Amino acid sequence: MRAAAERIRGAVLRTPTIPSDAVSRAAGCRVFLKLDTLQATGAFKERGAANRIALLSEAGPGAAVAGVVAMSAGNHAQAVARHAALAGIAAVIVMPRFTPATKVVRTEGWGARVVLHGETLAEAAEHAHELARRDGLTFIHPYEDPAVIAGQGTVALEMLEDRPELDALVVPVGGGGLLAGCAAAARALRPGMPVFGAEVEGYPAMAQRLAGAPVSVGGPTIAEGIAVRDVGEAALAMIRAFGVEVLVVPERAVERAIALLAEGARVVAEGAGATGLGAVLAFPERFAGKAAVGIAVCGGNIDSRILSNVLLRNLLRDGRILRLHLDIPDRPGVLADIAARVAAAGGNVIEVLHQRLFASPSVQSAELELMVEVRDSPQGEALVAALATGGYAVRRG
């Protein structure tokens, strides 16, 4: 692990591990965040790619003259593309046809040639292996490669060097490379310290494999970066040998973690990157009494529209945004009265929908839908009470 750290020094940012009071209060334990969102490509994947490509360069001028090839729909693609370019090596990245255009453009921006093939990552991987055999390219697997696993493990190495007071680590897990590498680093530096993996509930492949259960995954998830069916066999063996517990995190906890990081720590994280914090929020009993919990925030490549939706959904759940439905008499002055009551209660109307022709059961009435911003849930309750005092029947939406 230390050899990998030395090998990637200068090519990969040594990211900070910072405390966050707001996150710690919400989590119920002292939390330190490892911000690999600050990497040039926005994710930890650079570490494994940099180590693997550096080993090719060390092997001699002709070791990778034909280039490298990888399959990925996201962060691994950009990582391989960037570090191949830095090493002066040609890179081919095979992506599924459904890959969003922004990810294709970003990967091409690092100098790689992108090939769109197949409907799934598995089909893209098959084609990448075909290209490797046909063109003599070196295949770089995102998590089933010892050099990649060692590179990813430098996340934990840095955390434990920078924050020796840590007494637990929480690491998101998809294919398992990051978790396996971090568990190996923790075993070497801090034997006996618990390391937890964090998987999203729709894709608990690693937890299922560890339990000897059939793998059953699927469905939409905000943590698409760790939404895998096939985990790495080498990574699985390491995780099992180190006795790592994998926590399966509800989707809502991942959304809450994204919002908490954004509001409480001013950190933008993608779903996969926030799943570690989601595990701490969802399973507080596992971390109660811990002096310091280190959480790998391993990626920040989230679409701005999705981030906006997550933040708004969290405001609704917290009661800081209210959706109110009112059946009101259709007469002059009613809207003004409602607006005045909302303002007097400290609410801020951010959206109004007034239906008077089709939605209401009577021509003498209308339906009003309000979106109102309030400070907190108690203020929202006071606002609803103020409307009820005025004789308005209010339904929450």
Least confident of 113-122, 152-161, 305-314: 113-122
The 3-state DSSP class for residue 9 equals: strand
Which CATH architecture fits 321-396? 2-Layer Sandwich (3.30)
Name the band, by pLDDT with cuts 50, 70 and 90, for residue 15. very high
The ranges assigned to domains in the chain are: 2-43+149-313, 47-139, 321-396
- Residue-level pLDDT at 289: 82
pLDDT the model gives residue 332: 87
pLDDT of 199-222, one tens digit each? Answer: 999 999 999 999 999 999 999 999
CA distances from 131 to 94, 128, 134, 142, 288 (A): 9, 5, 5, 16, 50
Q: Are 178 and 171 in contact (CB under 8 A)?
A: yes
Look-up: residue for tokens 């339904």? 395
CA distances for 280 relative to 27, 222, 256, 277, 329, angstroms: 6, 18, 11, 5, 49
pLDDT score, position 356: 63
Q: 53-57, 125-129, 194-198: which has the minimum mean pLDDT? A: 53-57
The pLDDT score that the predictor gives to residue 74 is 83
Domains 2-43+149-313 and 47-139 share a fold: yes
Using alpha carbons only, give the angle 339, 344, 345 rounded to the nearest 5 degrees.
Answer: 100
Query: What distances in angstroms separate CA 397 from CA 336, 368, 394, one per listed residue?
Result: 22, 12, 10
- What value does the CA radius of gyration of the chain take, rounded to a whole number of Å? 25
Would you state the pLDDT for residue 64?
Answer: 53
- Write the pLDDT tens digit of every residue in 371-382: 999 999 999 999
What is the model's pLDDT at position 30?
96
Count other Cβ atoms within 10 Å, centred on residue 59.
11
Q: How far is it, in rounded angstroms, from Cα 221 to Cα 227?
A: 8
CA pair distance 273, 298, nearest whole angstrom: 5
Q: What is the pLDDT of residues 318-368, one digit of tens each?
A: 999 999 999 888 888 999 999 999 999 999 999 998 876 555 555 567 889
Among candidates 149, 143, 158, which has minimal Cα distance to 9?
158
- As a whole number, mean pLDDT of residues 47-63 equals 82
If you average pLDDT over every residue of the chain, what do you get?
93
Q: Pick 2-43+149-313's CATH classification: 3.30.70.1150, 3.40.50.1100, 2.40.50.180, 3.30.70.360.
A: 3.40.50.1100
Whether 309 has a pLDDT exceeding 70, the answer reads yes
What is the identity of the amino acid at 119? E
Q: Which helix (H) or strand (E) holds 395?
A: strand 393-396
* Strands lying side by side in the sheet with 31-35: 17-19, 31-35, 293-297, 168-172, 195-200, 245-249
356: which 2 tokens?
């008077």
Query: Is residue 86 pLDDT above 60, yes or no?
Result: yes
Pick the range with the lowest mean pLDDT from 99-103, 149-153, 207-211, 385-389.
99-103
- With 0.85 as the threshold, say if the pTM is over it: yes
Q: Is 60's pLDDT higher than 70?
A: no
Q: What integer pLDDT is reported at residue 373 of this predicted model? A: 95
Could you give the C-alpha distances from 177 to 27, 80, 341, 390, in angstroms and in order? 26, 15, 56, 60
Any idea of the CA torsion for 229, 234, 237, 243, to the nearest 10 degrees?
Answer: -90
Q: Taking a C-beta distance cutoff of 8 angstroms, is the pair 223, 256 a contact?
A: no
Q: What is the pLDDT of residues 266-298, one digit of tens each?
A: 999 999 999 999 999 999 999 988 889 999 999
The pLDDT, as a whole number, for residue 331 is 85
pLDDT tens digit string along 217-273?
999 999 998 998 899 999 999 999 999 999 999 999 999 999 999 999 999 999 999
**Domain 47-139, CATH among 3.40.50.2300, 3.40.50.300, 3.40.47.10, 3.40.50.1100:** 3.40.50.1100
Bridge-partner residues for 68, per DSSP?
Answer: 91, 138
Q: What is the percent of the chain where pLDDT is above 90?
A: 83
pLDDT digits (tens, 9 = 90+) for 112-128: 999 999 888 788 899 99
